[in-house]
Amino acid sequence: MIPWGAVPLLTCRDLRFSWPRTNATLTIRDFQVGQGERVFLCGPSGSGKSTLLGLIGGVLQPQGGELVVLEQSLSVLTPARRDRFRADFLGFIFQQFNLLPFLDPVENVMLGCAFSPLRKVRAMASGGTVRDEALRLLVALGLDARILERRGTGQLSVGQQQRVAAARALIGGPDLVLADEPTSALDAATRDGFLRLLLAECARHGAGLIFVSHDMALASQFDRVVALETSPSRQMEA
C-alpha cells in the first residue's frame, strides 16, 4: 500500500540482523518507504531503530532477507560500493554531536559532499558553488550564515548544531534522509522549529525521511507512523 508512485524508495523484506555475541535478532518482515515519503519510526529503546538505520546506510550487513534502496539491492554491493552509495544518496542526522569541532559550521555542511562527486555536482547545480549551496541551506534552516562563518562550531547551541547537521544531510539533494532522534536533545520550542524546517526542506528537495523518535507528539506531522516492537525476536510489520 504505497501511495507514492510505482517504485518504492526503500524496500525491506524478511530482513534479519543478529548482534554479535548476543541472541537478540532484529527481523523486519515488510517495510517500504515511497519516494519523498516522510515516515515516523518509533519503538522502545533497544528495539533496533538505530540498527535499522545502520542497515539502510549499508554500514551493517544483514544476515538474511532483502534490502533494496533506489532499486539497488545493498547486499550485492561490495563494502566500498555501499559506502559510495551512502555518500551519494543518503543523508544522516544524529541525536547530537553531529559536527566535527575542527571545521567551521559551513565546512561541516560542505562535508556532506566530501565523499560524493555526484552530491558535489548537484550542490553546484543548485547553488553555483558547494559553499554557496551550504550557505543557502543554512539560511533556509533559519541560521544567519554570516554570523556562523565567524564562529567556531563549538560555540553553537545544540539547536543550531542540529540545523547545521540537517543542512549537511540535505546538501547535494540526497534521496533519503535518516534522522536518529535528532530532536531529543532540544527543548520544545526549538524542537518544533527544527522539525518544521526539516520537513519543509525535505519536501522541497523531494527527499524521503525516516525520522526515529520517542516523542509521539511529533508523529502527527508525518505521512505515516511505523512502530518497531520488542519481542524475543524483534519483529516488525509495516
Q: Which is nearer to other proteins, 99 or 198 (CB)?
A: 99
Decide whether 151 or 196 has the Cβ nearer to other proteins: 151
In this structure, what C-alpha cell is assigned to residue 165? 547537521
**Rounded to the nearest whole angstrom, what is the least distance from the CB of residue 6 to other proteins in the complex?**
28
- 180: its cell numbers: 536518529
Q: Interface residues for other proteins in 18-77 (CB under 8 A)?
A: 20, 50-51, 53-54, 57, 59-60
Judge contact between 77 and 28, C-beta under 8 A: no
CA distance 49 to 212: 7
Closest CB 185 distance from other proteins, rounded Å: 12
Three-state SS for 192? helix
* 131: contact with other proteins by CB under 8 A: no
Q: Which residues on adjacent β-strands are paired with residue 32?
A: 11
Q: With CB under 8 A, what is the number of residues at the site for other proteins?
A: 33
Query: Closer to other proteins at the Cβ: 96 or 126?
Result: 96
Of 118, 127, 128, 220, the C-alpha closest to 167 is 127
Q: How far is CA 24 from the centre of its chain?
A: 25
Cβ 98 to other proteins shortest distance, Å: 7
Shortest CB 226 distance to other proteins, Å? 19
Query: Of the listed pieces 68-76, 114-122, 139-147, 230-238, which binds other proteins according to CB under 8 A?
Result: 114-122
How many CA atoms, within 13 angstroms, populate the side-chain half-sphere of residue 148? 26
The rounded distance, in Å, linking the Cα atoms of 116 and 210 is 21
Closest CA to 69 of 238, 225, 212, 207: 207
- Least separation in angstroms between CB 149 and other proteins: 15
Q: Residue 18 CB, nearest distance to other proteins (Å)?
A: 13
150 versus 189: smaller Cβ distance to other proteins: 150
State the binding string over 165-184 for other proteins (x if CB under 8 A, else -): ---x-----------x----
What would the 3-class secondary structure string for 102-135 be?
CCCHHHHHHHHHCCCHHHHHHHHHHHCCHHHHHH
Closer residue to other proteins in complex, CB, 6/80 = 80
Binding test (CB under 8 A) with other proteins, winner from 2, 77, 111, 139: 111
Interatomic CA distance for residues 226 and 166, integer angstroms: 22
Binding site residues, other proteins, CB under 8 A: 20, 50-51, 53-54, 57, 59-60, 79-80, 83-84, 86-88, 92, 94-103, 111-112, 114-116, 168, 180
